[in-house]
Amino acid sequence: MNTPTENIDLWEILKKVPDPEIPAINLVELGVIRVVERLENDKLKITITPTYTGCPAKKLFEELILEELAKHGYNDVEIISKLNPAWTTDWLSNETREKLLKDGISPPTIGDRVIICPQCKSTNTKLLSQFGSTPCQSLYSCNDCQEPFNYFKCH
Ligand SMILES: [Zn+2]
């Protein structure tokens, strides 16, 4: 049985938990993990904000978080869902947006809502379907390179 590692930053552990839908980014980068508290006797309290209400990934987020923490000896973990303020794609950092783009997913843009083709960076794109490979993405196609791509929807 593992014992909790005293000196490890809990955020570093949580950064190992991938987004089940987009494994290139983790739940910290996604902005799902909001607050991490270390209570008495190595009990942890984690506050998460699911990407949107009814997102099928919510249960999976919790399981993945518990699994990763257990690997580091944290077996007494309480996960609280906080729905207010609601998760928004504005919580994604520029670094995270770059990662999405490299993974072939067009990241949501703040402000002007221009949709960029991850292949050729063209902004001359059109919507093919509201639903892409996951409910959190839409399917677009690029008018310049003709490649279809997934766009991470804004909420
Ligand atoms: Zn293109």
Give me the DSSP letters along 128-147.
EES--SSTTEEEEEETTT--
The SS3 assignment for 36 reads: strand
Model confidence, pTM: 0.79
**Mind listing the pLDDT tens digit for each residue in 79-129?**
999 988 888 888 888 899 999 999 999 988 755 568 999 999 999 999 999
- Report how far ligand 1's centroid is from the alpha carbon of 148 (Å): 8
| CATH architecture observed for domain 10-81 | 2-Layer Sandwich (3.30)
> CATH 3.30.300.130 in the chain, residues?
10-81
Distance 1 CA to ligand 1 centre (A): 51
What is the CA(151)–ligand 1 centre distance, in A?
A: 13
Ligand 1 center–CA 100 separation, angstroms: 15
